[in-house]
Structure 1
Amino acid sequence: MDRLTRHADLLALSGGDPWVRWSVPDPLPGEVWVHEEVALVQRLGARPGFWVVPLCSGMQGTSPSRGELARVRAALTELRDGGHLARLGSRSVSVPQAHAEVAHEVLELGDGGDWEWMWTQEPPQVDARERDVIPLDDSADAAELTAFTQAHNPRQWTEIGTGRVHRWVGLRDGHGALVAVGGAEREATGIPHLAGIVTAIDRRGTGLARVVSAALTRWALEEHGVCTLGMFSDNAAARSLYARLGYRTARAWHSRMLVPVS
């Protein structure tokens, strides 16, 4: 394996991949290696491990070539047999969904999820209801945000009241009750990353998620020129919504915890 130390080199090898550009920080986090045209980017934080990134992949959604499958297998095998997972205290691995089967053949993998990393640089169409969007506070409104989220989308992973979400917005009904909320975290690069988009169950299908998402996206583009987000891959409604707002999928991830070696 070859060690990379410059973000510019990884970006060039990836052909300007949006995920590398806007999700991987500069300077590079931890260790980054390239093995047979597959980048292995160390993931730090609560779920330490590796992102496995084919550098010569075809268009998103196309089936990988036999050669790419072989290269990803070789890279995963090197991670395992070279002792890098154990040496760096890895607990997880994320591979492209198209390489999930190979990952399970090479590594002992447990629980996790399939999700997509998306981005846009296109301002969404203006919805007149955006004028009703109000700011919310991660600290002062934490109890209300938590109760609303738990009641209307318990699968939501967003952290509330910790400062991780640096911008919240919402919509209220005529009685002052929340009917939709949305937040923006920050990528490790500092780029806004949408999170916590939730609509009240009895208001779904009325476009409120689009309103708060559009308002946050417009703010992010005005401030940073780009906005990103992550969504569970089984959420077809969310995919349709974000596509209409101009978002595109750069990486469809299969993220799994590593089964500890006994």
Structure 2
Amino acid sequence: MTWSQVDRDELLEISRHDPFVRFATSNEIVAVAAPEGWACVGPWRPGSGHWGGAAVVGAGSGSSAETCALQAILEAGGTDLALEWFSTGQERPLSVPDPYACSGSERWSFLWTEQAPGTDAQGLLAQRGLGVQELDDRDDAEAIEAFGAAYTQGRYLGFPGWGFATTWLAVQDRAGGTVAVGALHELASGMPHLAGILVRPDRRGQGIGELLTLELTARAVQEAGVATLGVLTDNREALALYERLGYAVAHRFHTRELATAPEPA
């Protein structure tokens, strides 16, 4: 098959305005298309940070389709292209071309909604004696990170203080104690992406995370007309919650983390 380079406007048409292309990509992309499907890479973060992307092919495509697409992207992008990740469909194979090697992988789903919640999340939290406090990504980074580190297994992925978040919200009790936090990150596309939502263990199962998600979603949709998020595909409870709140699954991805392969000795 032959993969040909296309620009973002062409990619939108070819992908039938796929939500991942619409909301997670900017004009700073390298994209290719073929009869089997499309693929693109670009910065995930503003400022050309965290380059990666995905290949989406039709049912019945050959097992080498995504590998060929990634190779075409590398050839089109030239030597300055530095990728950190690349995704395929859940069960699709990928042979990582030189000069890269696969350094890890995960399976996650990309979700989106343009539907503004009809729920007064802050009002419902207030009925429970809880309030919503805006935090500052820089000034409150240490406190947010301490909360995240205390109640997360592994690394907390809210990344406070990194400049990714445009909004941080904390749910607090009457004594000022934090019971939950969450953020809106800005993608390179300029679209908001929910991240870092975490509820203190002793307050889980009380609907606090759901109400915080609704409040963040409402702010994102009001600001940009859309809210996006990513969740590990095996977290079925979270996926069911987000779908109940109006989110749709655009893609279930298998992402390979990429590292430059060492030169042979």
Percent identical among aligned pairs is: 30
Q: Shift in Å at residue 96 of structure 1?
A: 1.8
Letter paired with 2:211: V
Aligned match of 2:14: 13
* Counterparts of 1:87 and 1:105, CA distance in 2: 18
Match of 1:98, SS state, is coil
Letter paired with 1:3: Q
Could you tell me whether the CA contact under 8 Å between 2:36 and 2:61 is conserved in 1? no
Cα distance change on mapping 1:142 and 1:245 into 2, 3 Å: same
Could you tell me whether the CA contact under 8 Å between 1:23 and 1:188 is conserved in 2? yes
Pairing 1:112-123 to 2, within 5 Å after superposition: 112-123=105-116
Taking only aligned residues, the RMSD between alpha carbons, in angstroms, comes to 2.6
Normalized per residue, the structure richer in helix is: 1
* Counterparts of 2:84 and 2:60, CA distance in 1: 28
Unpaired runs of 5+ residues, structure 1, are: 58-64
1:111 equivalent in alignment to 2:104: yes
Cα distance change on mapping 1:51 and 1:225 into 2, 3 Å: same
Aligned match of 1:38: 37
Aligned match of 1:200: 200
Aligned match of 2:215: 215
Q: Shift in Å at residue 130 of structure 1?
A: 4.4
Could you tell me whether the CA contact under 8 Å between 1:133 and 1:215 is conserved in 2? no
Letter paired with 2:203: R
1:52 equivalent in alignment to 2:16: no
Unpaired runs of 5+ residues, structure 2, are: none
Deviations 1:62-106 (A, max 9, x none): xxx2236564354356568x697867343432212131xx21588
Aligned match of 2:69: 75
Could you tell me whether the CA contact under 8 Å between 1:125 and 1:245 is conserved in 2? no
Aligned match of 2:124: 129
Letter paired with 1:31: V
Letter paired with 2:17: G
Q: Shift in Å at residue 176 of structure 1?
A: 1.3
Name the TM-score, length of structure 2 as normaliser.
0.82
Q: Shift in Å at residue 110 of structure 1?
A: 2.9
* Counterparts of 1:164 and 1:78, CA distance in 2: 30
Count of residue correspondences: 247
Match of 1:228, SS state, is strand
* Counterparts of 1:254 and 1:124, CA distance in 2: 30
Deviations 1:94-121 (A, max 9, x none): 212131xx21588853313211111001
* Counterparts of 2:76 and 2:19, CA distance in 1: 30
Q: Shift in Å at residue 251 of structure 1?
A: 1.5
Cα distance change on mapping 1:216 and 1:84 into 2, 3 Å: closer
Cα distance change on mapping 1:104 and 1:234 into 2, 3 Å: farther
Name the TM-score, length of structure 1 as normaliser.
0.83
Normalized per residue, the structure richer in strand is: 2
